[in-house]
Amino acid sequence: MDGGEERRKRAVGRLCSICHEKKAALKRPKTLDQICRECFYAVFEEEIHKVIVENNLFKPGERIAIGASGGKDSTVLAYVLSKLNQEHNYGLDLFLLSVDEGITGYRDDSLETVKRNEIQYGLPLKIVSYKELYGWTMDEIVKAIGLKNNCTFCGVFRRQALDRGAALLRTDKLVTGHNADDIAETVLLNILRGDIARLGRCTQITTGEDGPIPRCKPFKYTYEKEILDYFSTECIYSPNAYRGFAREFIKDLEQIRPRAILDIIRSGENFRISSSTKMPEQGTCERCGYISSQKFLDVVNDKVVKVGKDFMNKSRAVIKWCKACVLLDGLNRGLPKFGIRRTKDSQKVGEHRVSNSETTVANFESKQCGNLDF
Ligand SMILES: Nc1ncnc2c1ncn2[C@@H]1O[C@H](COP(=O)(O)OP(=O)(O)OP(=O)(O)O)[C@@H](O)[C@H]1O
């Protein structure tokens, strides 16, 4: 093609800026390049491969659980990861891991998608359910607690359920389909909540290396818009989640300036956390015995106890419980708001205190749908 012909085709504004042959089918939000579908698939997969290699996400021989919700992100992740694993000989053993929260009309539908993916991609599937792990479905929890705080239960239980499922599969890592938009939203939410500890963690591509199972986000730099194979299913129990407002805000910013999503992630990455900032404790829950990478709560009869204080001079024993156990205990005792309600005693940002006649819990954070630190 001579220069004049090429310019003419470009002037039409419809030719793929990569192959210069086919009609452009979409405009990439990151680069604003107009490209054809075939080139899009190729660059999309190539970028994920680059992220995996440059960040040393996997080692040959590792067993990897893919958090498979049946939504668009994790479905695309399962497909792309199994493709790249074969094409580039990563040498990974891949598994689909699904958590059934027990949400009728939502997760039961998307689990059908995961079951289809099991067959299509030839990846073994493990499903763990809230009912079998905690004795409650989300439908039952919502009946007990209402719609306001149910996202806290769902987020805390899901996080632990994924860890437990990954342990059952004996996997070395868990990957999730969190994308660039999710991470930008989380950066904003953590800033809005003044949660510096989580802000530091939420932009890391791999987290929890000191916990039960490291988690990776291969889609950290991938725009939601570009994650195709779309199965848009918004959770029926989270219509008003605070995260939704952050999401809308990010979408508005993206309209004005498509790079805004990557810029917010970069801002989060560049925040420096002061060495005096107190980070959440990690360890083993003394109730369920499960290692948790989440913040632990100190529970003492009738006493307000702050995490990290010296307990030697206290007369009664301190029990360290993970968040899932505190929430579950509240549910089982008919106190569904236990571990959630904010009281006027709470003074620090993000510190919630819940009291009843037996127990007092400090430093407990109520969060809306989606963990703020994944
Ligand atoms: N029930 C679940 N079972 C297994 N993994 C899950 C489940 N829910 C969420 N995940 C994992 O966490 C990631 C982020 O979940 P989130 O609920 O934010 O959904 P999302 O951004 O809509 O992603 P998706 O489109 O994959 O559902 C998912 O991509 C998936 O890897």
pLDDT attached to residue 363: 31
pLDDT attached to residue 315: 44
Residue whose CA is at the smallest distance from ligand 1 atom 1: 99
Q: Give distance in angstroms: CA of 138 to centre of ligand 1.
A: 16
> β-strands 93-100, 125-129: how paired?
parallel
- Encode 112-177 in three state secondary structure: HHHHHHHHHHCCCEEEEEHHHHHCCCHHHHHHHHCCCCHHHHHHHHHHHHHHHHHHHCCCCEEECC
pLDDT attached to residue 135: 94
Is 72 a pocket residue for ligand 1 (Cβ < 6 Å)? yes
Is 99 a pocket residue for ligand 1 (Cβ < 6 Å)? yes
Cα–Cα distance measured from residue 30 to residue 225, given in angstroms and rounded to the nearest whole number: 10
* Residue 314 and residue 303 in contact, taking contact as beta carbons nearer than 8 Å: yes
In sequence order, what DSSP letters do the residues of 301-353 get, joined into one string?
Answer: ETB---TT---TT-SSPPEEEEHHHHHHHHHHTT-TTTTT---TT--STT---
CATH numeric code, 42-270: 3.40.50.620
Residue whose CA is at the smallest distance from ligand 1 atom 29: 177
Against a cut of 0.90, is the pTM above it? no
Of 57, 33, 53, which is closest to residue 43 (Cα–Cα)? 33
pLDDT attached to residue 355: 33
Spans of all domains in the chain = 1-35, 42-270, 283-361
* Residue 111 and residue 127 in contact, taking contact as beta carbons nearer than 8 Å: yes
Minimum-distance ligand 1 atom for the alpha carbon of 175: 31
Q: Give distance in angstroms: CA of 369 to centre of ligand 1.
A: 11
Is the ipTM higher than 0.90? The answer is yes
Q: Give distance in angstroms: CA of 207 to centre of ligand 1.
A: 16
Task: Determine if residue 177 is labeled as part of a ligand binding site.
Answer: yes
Q: Give distance in angstroms: CA of 177 to centre of ligand 1.
A: 6
pLDDT attached to residue 2: 54
Task: Determine if residue 73 is labeled as part of a ligand binding site.
Answer: yes
Of 227, 197, 173, which is closest to residue 55 (Cα–Cα)? 173
Q: Give distance in angstroms: CA of 73 to centre of ligand 1.
A: 7
Q: Ligand 1: which of 73, 75, 96, 202 to mutate, judged by most atoms within 8 Å of the beta carbon?
A: 73
pLDDT attached to residue 284: 79
Q: Which amino acid is at 74?
A: S
Q: What is the mean pLDDT of each run of 10 residues along the chain (374 residues)?
A: 54 80 86 87 93 97 96 91 96 97 86 92 95 94 84 88 95 96 90 80 88 92 76 46 74 85 86 69 75 55 42 50 81 74 37 32 37 49
Q: Give distance in angstroms: CA of 361 to centre of ligand 1.
A: 30
- Residue 248: partners with Cβ closer than 8 Å, 6 or more residues away: none
Structural tokens at position 126: 């493990």
pLDDT attached to residue 242: 63
Q: Give distance in angstroms: CA of 44 to centre of ligand 1.
A: 20
* Residue 352 and residue 178 in contact, taking contact as beta carbons nearer than 8 Å: no
Is 371 a pocket residue for ligand 1 (Cβ < 6 Å)? no
Is 238 a pocket residue for ligand 1 (Cβ < 6 Å)? no
pLDDT attached to residue 110: 86
Residue whose CA is at the smallest distance from ligand 1 atom 5: 67
Of 227, 221, 215, which is closest to residue 268 (Cα–Cα)? 221
pLDDT attached to residue 349: 27
What are the C-alpha distances in Å from 292 to residues 57, 106, 338? 22, 27, 20
Task: Determine if residue 182 is labeled as part of a ligand binding site.
Answer: yes
pLDDT attached to residue 299: 56
**DSSP β-bridge partners for residue 96:** 66, 125
pLDDT attached to residue 174: 97
Is 76 a pocket residue for ligand 1 (Cβ < 6 Å)? no
H/E stretch holding 75: helix 72-87
pLDDT attached to residue 314: 43
Residue whose CA is at the smallest distance from ligand 1 atom 22: 71
Percent composition of the chain: helix, strand, coil (DSSP 3-state, to 5)? 40, 15, 45
In sequence order, what DSSP letters do the residues of 85-99 get, joined into one string?
Answer: HHHTT---EEEEEEE
pLDDT attached to residue 209: 84
* Residue 96 and residue 251 in contact, taking contact as beta carbons nearer than 8 Å: no
